[in-house]
Copies of this chain bind each other. A is one copy, B any other.
């Protein structure tokens, strides 16, 4: 009986030690944090993973975090690492002949090839709801700079021999301004630039972009890669072989 009691005590102690050892590794946090900087870093991650779902504007408490992110090293670094991973995949896929006769790479335009950071710097970094009128005026100026790492990737993919297809939510009426801006930013020689037609009005980006990727496949393109700052650039069938989500904590498009 005493032996049994001893055994029980030893086992209980062992379990307690194992348990304490296990729990001491992790923070016992169950709720979203109160501290703005910590919460906002996690919120921005949730935007990047798609966990956040639809949202209309940056949470008020996160305005400073979004601005610091966009202006600082992280946005540039995150974009550059995404581009490096894109190129690593592209080189390997191209070398293996995975793309067949017409290997293609699809790029979104805004916050992917071109950066509207100068516009958002003037309009609250996403803290206010999207204003179509003022944004369209900015598009017409056609002076958005390239996202530097995207321009480098673009040129590298062209060097490999990819067919580059630009698929943007901008409307056909913005074709001239968009072409002018792309050239201003250093992009050239795209296979095609696809913009929303009047018949696409009212479609979600997922629907519109998926339909256009389906047409590309019918045309014989093998879409190996797709780069976009919105999940709506990347999801929906058909999908590319690999998708690359570029960071964007400023706005959401469904």
Task: Point out residues on A near B: beta carbons under 8 Å.
Answer: 15, 18-19, 21-23, 25-33, 38-39, 41-43, 45-46, 48-53, 70-86, 89, 115, 117-118, 121, 141, 143-145, 147-149, 151-152, 242-245, 247
Query: A26 near B78 (CB under 8 angstroms)?
Result: no
Query: Which B residues are CB-close (under 8 A) to A242?
Result: 53
A130 CB, min distance to chain B CBs, angstroms: 18
Of all chain B residues, the one with the shortest Cβ separation from A118 is B22
- Scoring A49, A73, A86, A243 by chain B CB atoms within 10 A of each residue's CB, the highest score goes to A49
Query: Which B residues are CB-close (under 8 A) to A46?
Result: 78, 81-82, 85
Q: Copy number of this protein in the oligomer? A: 2
Query: A42 near B145 (CB under 8 angstroms)?
Result: no
CA distance A244 to B42 in the complex (A): 13
CA distance A25 to B152 in the complex (A): 18
Query: B81 near A22 (CB under 8 angstroms)?
Result: no
Query: Which B residues are CB-close (under 8 A) to A147?
Result: 26
Query: Which B residues are CB-close (under 8 A) to A85?
Result: 46, 51-53
Query: B74 near A148 (CB under 8 angstroms)?
Result: no
A98 CB, min distance to chain B CBs, angstroms: 14
Query: A33 near B80 (CB under 8 angstroms)?
Result: yes
A228 CB, min distance to chain B CBs, angstroms: 11
Of all chain B residues, the one with the shortest Cβ separation from A23 is B145
Query: A45 near B76 (CB under 8 angstroms)?
Result: no
Give me the 9 closest cross-chain CB pairs, A-B, nearest first.
Answer: A29-B76, A27-B76, A42-B81, A22-B118, A30-B152, A49-B245, A25-B117, A18-B143, A32-B84
Of all chain B residues, the one with the shortest Cβ separation from A144 is B22
Query: B39 near A81 (CB under 8 angstroms)?
Result: yes
Of all chain B residues, the one with the shortest Cβ separation from A19 is B143
A34 CB, min distance to chain B CBs, angstroms: 10
A242 CB, min distance to chain B CBs, angstroms: 6
Query: B21 near A78 (CB under 8 angstroms)?
Result: no
Query: B48 near A48 (CB under 8 angstroms)?
Result: yes
Query: B77 near A26 (CB under 8 angstroms)?
Result: no
Query: Which B residues are CB-close (under 8 A) to A29?
Result: 73, 76-77, 79-80, 148-149
